[in-house]
A = this chain, B = another copy of it.
Amino acid sequence: MQIEIVTIGNEVLSGRTVDTNFAWLARALERASVQVAWHTTVGDSAERIGEALKRALERAGGVVMMGGLGPTPDDLTRKAVATVLARPLQLDEAVLAHVRERAKRSGRSLPASIESMALLPRGAEAWISPAGSAPGLLIVQGEKPVILLPGVPHELEALATEYVVPYLRQRTGRAVETFTLRTFGAFESQLHERIGARPQRWAGAVLAYLPSYFGVDLRVTVAGPAGSQVAEVAARARAELLELVGSVVYAEGEHTMEEVVGEALLARSWRMATAESCTAGLLAKRVTDVPGSSRYFDRGFVTYSNEAKVELLGVGEADLATHGAVSAPVAEQMARGARHRAGVELGVAITGVAGPEGGSTEKPVGTVFVALSTPEGEAVRRFHFAGSRATIRERSAQIALDLARRRLLGLPLDAQLEEPPGPTAGLAPRPASRAAAKPAARPASPRRRAPGAPDEGGQAGD
């Protein structure tokens, strides 16, 4: 089934609120084999909401509308839908009871208008929310489902998970297989050149290149009638991609770099500490985004000032004076200091010029040093990133995590596409097959710019 999602809200249309709800819902529906074919956003206007619904019913097999279900005067969705579908609003006693009960439970004095949330278009089925007052609504209009959801993210997510996805999954009869290989360290154009026209050999498959600061994700979607060979095609596509570009694949699916690093630490029973200057906590924050990270993350040193570098990490004052805070010797001492002072096996350090001020001819804004210290040895790399302060910091944290991952897994430290048929050693091996991980084979010489440091957005055109 191809559906249309309609987002309602001036705050989204004006760009003040980024529509993360849409992205979340589209991904949730994809897992239910429901394809989102159109997405429209309109403001808080009953006329525009009505037009959008009419248009969506013309072209799509179903419609999900998000937002405008609350109790304030700019919440117009129920009214607009009631008008367009000629289904007058009627009071729903079950919803009213739920709204009152939630209000009571909150212990806050809520405006009486909150009870307007119990007015539903005639014939609507109400899905009582596990997370809020506004219910989800289902109206079946001439065989096509029209679903209304509140725009509050956690309410939307709760209703979609509990009701919308199961309901739509049951209505579709199409098979979809999708997988994602996450790469880091190669440009999109390099991946494209290596992979070329190969996807044309995979029946019903589409390969998308998804570049971001975190690398380039390769997402393959295979679609076909229920009962067709979509699973087999997907498996073959995955194997061929790993053969072509496996040396820069760090994870699959929604697995993140910090999760891979955490698993690698657990596999070796190692603990880690961070030492950060320009990223100032971002690396530690990323590592601890993973639930349970206290099993392997001990502490982080955010040494923004030079005094902090000296006092907390034992960086030499002479080195700071001679080489500057943004230098290979200081990065190395930061990583070593973090490891020794925390008494852990892995120290990771970042020091750089995030900008917009502070650059020099020799070390322009975007110059970043990353160092690793382990009982097996130390390493430092210099990078140069283009972009804003935020971009430089995000990229620095990501490349530091990738270096840690490569060191932990015994991979070559510098990412590069290997000649096909290449090994799939870049992918974090499952614990059972760890022996297959390729040991560092080539000399890891420092260089000015690694392929892991795209400075034009990691892509050639668009």
Contact = CB atoms under 8 A, between A and B. Distances in A.
Interface of A: 7, 10-20, 22-28, 30, 36-43, 48, 55, 67-72, 74-75, 106, 108-111, 114, 117, 132-134, 150-155, 180, 187, 189-190, 192-193, 206, 208-210, 212, 217, 219, 221, 274, 276, 279-285, 287-289, 291-294, 297-305, 307-308, 312, 342-343, 355-357, 387, 389-390, 393, 456-457, 459-462
A433 B63 CA distance: 54
Nearest to A114: B460
Contacts of A280: 281, 284-285, 287-288, 297, 300
A287 B300 CA distance: 16
Nearest to A343: B307
Copies of this chain, count: 2
Nearest to A283: B281
17 contacts: A13-B36, A13-B39, A16-B210, A18-B19, A38-B41, A71-B462, A72-B209, A75-B461, A111-B192, A133-B460, A152-B457, A280-B281, A281-B283, A281-B284, A293-B304, A300-B301, A301-B301
A208 B457 contact: no
A42 B7 CA distance: 14
B456 A106 contact: yes
A462 to B, nearest CB: 3
A39 B43 CA distance: 10
Contacts of A70: 459-462
Given A72-B461, A357-B291, A461-B70, A14 B30 contact: yes
B302 A461 contact: no
